[in-house]
């Protein structure tokens, strides 16, 4: 490992909780409950974590009891089968995720806000808890009336609006299985996902707004309907800016209805209890290479994992207003929705966060008076580069906590957040994944915050950094693994009848242990540092490290807006590592700037990681959730066809690939490149 990758983070915390802050935290209340109800006392968070992974059955029963999970049938065993994959949790229990959503607001007025919403075209409005329940009931009754039943798949092509949340709850209340894609995703990307699960119904808009433009999707929808032979019914929702529903052409055997008409028919909300492991939704791997994995999660696993995450690790309660900028195609949308489980109000914005400029989301958050704010790490870096001053844009007097995920948050972004939002903010980045809809490492309001470091391993997650032999490491970079099962791990992958793809995806490297695909280290004080995807790791002269270290060094330069590094390893030959940079408008990549970039890497990371070449590019290819497409670009460089390397429909900027395809044509396939010139 490089010195930069293994160095001990600074010892001075950026933030430390006061005794009062600790005492009023949700996790301290949980610890007090454990002492009173279970006779379990812990000196600190890390002692609590050790118990939670040493006695996982007792821990998850405590989560069930502490949050008063309601089940129409009790469980007979907590953990019927422990081995991974295939662990069986709370055998015999029957419940429904949606029941807990509407039970969470007990004591709150039906008129109090459940959701605050705005878009590029629609000013902020509120949806009350009462309206959320009434509309969910009408949609669920309508779906039943057109033949949707337990186990059927219902898909959605919807933006981040209250209607999408209503639709999810309606589908799940029936015991049907939900799956959603954002309407900015292309035909191929969506069909690659939806065709796998054979949906019987589709809820969709025919247009959406983004970047100041209205995008018509009627032709796309017509193609969906034609290529989804299982489809029997389509519900059309209002389009961009609340435009009236405008049905598109459908096959003669596919019926349709109009959202506004559905809502006019009153109904009682009937929630069907299902087994703990009954599927609630299907989500997908990034889809940037090959056919996306269709990952199936269960009602019970999602309920327990999200109660733990949002209440204990995000410290949310019914008094909070929570906003995490996302789209429906990112797993953070599911976690955002899950905040309703604790009765919090969620604030959602639909649109381009940088239109008309980078202040948009902050203005919305200020108007919503959020108490907890979250976004992808790339968003904070962009705001820092753009000179955004959040506190000049709205009322942040209630803001007490901020989060980040999607990619590692740089120490510079930590500093920017504390400089701009104030020293009293509890900053708690987290890292987890779509695979289990949760976090492996995250925050605790009882612990100090150190720049570049996540505070802790989350409760119940037996997370370690493994060396190649499967030995846990402290203070060194290794593979992020989870050595014990979680209730939220996938039930299975759709159409993976023998479980082989599930096993190959997570358990091939360390038998019986979940390998997540990230490089990370556990610090001596119990925190965690994530360095990026392990399958995009840089290996120079036998020294490995995550690409985020290079990005941090390069993107410190004010001229550099974004960057991408690719390590081309060739058997028996020296590796070739080009660096691609996006520069500020009007800045050109000359020899002097190349030298400055190289020096920043040399001094900030290691001379080993100075690139062979540096190139200026228009854009860095990214997924819809903002992750850099290192592996697909690497495959293109190795000579793979672009259609087998990356799925443009699952990308935020698919046209960006053209530059890299052309660059690949000029690359020799032997790997015979000169040494670094900078």
pLDDT tens readout for residues 90-111? 999 999 999 999 998 777 899 9
Please check the confidence at residue 673 and state whether its pLDDT lies above 80: no
Question: Domain for residue 86, yes or no?
Answer: no
Question: Domain for residue 380, yes or no?
Answer: no
Please check the confidence at residue 287 and state whether its pLDDT lies above 60: no
Least Cα distance to 532 among 543, 516, 556 occurs for 516
- Strands 578-583 and 613-616, by their bridges, are parallel
pTM, two decimals, is: 0.87
- pLDDT tens digits for range 394-413: 999 999 999 998 778 888 89
Task: Output the pLDDT for position 396.
Answer: 97
Please check the confidence at residue 282 and state whether its pLDDT lies above 90: yes
Beta bridge partners of 208: 215
Question: Domain for residue 614, yes or no?
Answer: yes
- pLDDT tens digits for range 339-367: 999 999 999 999 999 999 999 999 999 99
Mean pLDDT calculated for residue range 221-250: 89
- 131 Cβ neighbours under 8 A, 6+ residues apart: 114
Please check the confidence at residue 478 and state whether its pLDDT lies above 60: yes
Please check the confidence at residue 546 and state whether its pLDDT lies above 80: no
- pLDDT tens digits for range 437-447: 999 999 999 99
3-state SS of 557-576? CCCEEEEEECCEEECCEEEE
- pLDDT tens digits for range 379-388: 998 899 999 9
Q: How confident is the model at residue 544 (pLDDT cuts 50, 70, 90)?
A: low
Task: Output the pLDDT for position 88.
Answer: 96
- Kindly report the length of the chain: 678
DSSP label of 313: I
Please check the confidence at residue 671 and state whether its pLDDT lies above 60: no
Cα–Cα dist 145/128, whole Å: 26
Task: Output the pLDDT for position 542.
Answer: 55
Instruction: Report how many domains make up the chain.
Output: 1
Question: Domain for residue 99, yes or no?
Answer: no
Please check the confidence at residue 571 and state whether its pLDDT lies above 70: no
Q: How is residue 434 written in tokens?
A: 């779509």
Please check the confidence at residue 117 and state whether its pLDDT lies above 50: yes
Please check the confidence at residue 166 and state whether its pLDDT lies above 70: yes
Cβ atoms of residues 520 and 408 within 8 Å:
no
Please check the confidence at residue 5 and state whether its pLDDT lies above 60: no
Task: Output the pLDDT for position 531.
Answer: 82
Please give the residue range of the domain that contains residue 615.
Answer: 541-665
Q: How far apart are the first and last CA of the chain?
A: 22
- 502 Cβ neighbours under 8 A, 6+ residues apart: 85, 490, 492, 493, 496
Q: How is residue 463 written in tokens?
A: 């997370």
Mean pLDDT calculated for residue range 583-606: 92
Task: Output the pLDDT for position 290.
Answer: 56
Residue 352 or 606, more confident: 352
> What CATH code is carried by the domain that includes residue 580?
3.30.300.30
Task: Output the pLDDT for position 574.
Answer: 63
Question: Domain for residue 650, yes or no?
Answer: yes
Question: Domain for residue 342, yes or no?
Answer: no
Cβ atoms of residues 580 and 564 within 8 Å:
yes
- pLDDT tens digits for range 118-151: 999 999 999 999 999 999 999 999 999 999 999 9
Task: Walk across the sheet containing 279-284 and list its strands.
Answer: 255-258, 233-236, 201-204, 153-157, 177-181, 279-284, 294-298, 492-493
The H or E element containing residue 19 is: helix 19-23
Question: Domain for residue 561, yes or no?
Answer: yes
Task: Output the pLDDT for position 569.
Answer: 64
């Amino acid at each position: 490992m490089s010195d930069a990758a293994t160095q001990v983070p600074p010892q001075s915390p950026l933030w430390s909780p006061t005794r009062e802050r600790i005492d009023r935290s949700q996790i301290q209340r949980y610890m007090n409950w454990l002492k009173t109800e279970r006779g379990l006392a812990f000196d600190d968070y890390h002692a609590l974590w050790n118990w939670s992974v040493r006695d996982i059955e007792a821990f998850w029963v405590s989560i069930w009891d502490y949050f008063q999970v309601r089940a129409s049938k009790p469980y007979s065993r907590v953990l019927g089968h422990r081995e991974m994959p295939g662990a069986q949790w709370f055998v015999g229990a029957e419940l429904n995720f949606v029941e807990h959503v509407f039970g969470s607001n007990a004591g709150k007025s039906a008129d109090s806000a459940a959701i605050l919403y705005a878009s590029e075209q629609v000013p902020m409005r509120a949806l009350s808890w009462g309206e959320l329940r009434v509309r969910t009931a009408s949609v669920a009754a309508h779906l039943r009336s057109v033949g949707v039943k337990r186990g059927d798949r219902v898909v959605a092509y919807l933006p981040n609006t209250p209607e999408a949340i209503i639709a999810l709850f309606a589908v799940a209340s029936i015991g049907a299985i939900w799956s959603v894609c954002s309407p900015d995703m292309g035909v191929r990307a969506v069909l690659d996902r939806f065709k796998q699960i054979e949906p019987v119904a589709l809820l969709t808009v025919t247009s959406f707004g983004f970047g100041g433009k209205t995008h018509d999707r009627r032709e796309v929808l017509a193609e969906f309907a034609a290529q989804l032979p299982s489809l029997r019914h389509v519900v059309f929702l209002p389009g961009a800016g609340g435009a009236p529903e405008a049905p598109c052409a459908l096959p003669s055997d596919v019926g349709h209805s109009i959202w506004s008409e559905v809502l006019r028919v009153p109904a009682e909300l009937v929630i069907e209890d299902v087994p703990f492991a009954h599927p609630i939704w299907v989500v997908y791997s990034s889809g940037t290479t090959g056919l996306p994995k269709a990952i199936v999660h269960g009602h019970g696993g999602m309920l327990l994992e999200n109660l733990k995450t949002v209440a204990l690790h995000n410290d949310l309660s019914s008094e909070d207003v929570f906003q995490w900028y996302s789209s429906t195609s990112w797993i953070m949308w599911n976690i955002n929705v899950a905040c309703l489980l604790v009765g919090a109000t969620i604030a959602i914005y639909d649109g381009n966060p940088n239109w008309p400029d980078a202040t948009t989301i902050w203005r919305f958050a200020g108007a919503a008076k959020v108490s907890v704010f979250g976004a992808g790490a790339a968003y904070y870096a962009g705001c820092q580069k753009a000179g955004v001053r959040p506190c000049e844009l709205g009322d942040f007097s209630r803001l007490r906590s901020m989060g980040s995920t999607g990619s590692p948050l740089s120490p510079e972004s930590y500093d920017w957040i504390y400089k701009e939002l104030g020293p009293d903010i509890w900053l708690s980045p987290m890292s987890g994944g779509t695979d289990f809809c949760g976090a492996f490492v995250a925050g605790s309001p009882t612990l100090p915050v150190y720049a570049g470091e996540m505070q802790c391993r989350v409760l119940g997650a037996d997370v370690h950094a493994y060396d190649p032999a499967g030995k846990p490491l402290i203070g060194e970079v290794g593979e992020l693994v989870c050595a014990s099962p979680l209730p939220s791990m996938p039930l299975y992958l759709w159409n993976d009848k023998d479980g082989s793809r599930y096993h190959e995806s997570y358990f091939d490297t360390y038998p019986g242990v979940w390998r997540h695909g990230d490089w990370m280290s556990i610090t001596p004080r119990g925190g965690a540092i994530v360095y990026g995807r392990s399958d995009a790791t840089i290996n120079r002269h036998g020294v490995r490290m995550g690409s985020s270290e290079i990005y941090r060094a390069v993107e410190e330069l004010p001229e550099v807006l974004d960057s991408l590094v690719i390590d081309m390893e060739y058997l028996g030959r020296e590796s070739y590592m080009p660096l691609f940079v996006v520069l500020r408008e009007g800045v050109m990549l000359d020899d002097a700037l190349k030298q400055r970039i190289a020096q920043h890497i040399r001094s900030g990371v290691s001379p080993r990681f100075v690139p062979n070449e540096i190139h200026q590019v228009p854009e860095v290819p990214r997924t819809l959730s903002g992750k850099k497409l290192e592996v697909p670009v690497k495959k293109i460089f190795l000579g793979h066809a672009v259609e087998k390397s990356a799925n443009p429909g699952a990308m935020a900027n698919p046209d960006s690939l053209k530059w890299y395809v052309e660059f690949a044509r000029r690359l020799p396939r032997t790997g015979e490149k000169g040494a670094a010139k900078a």
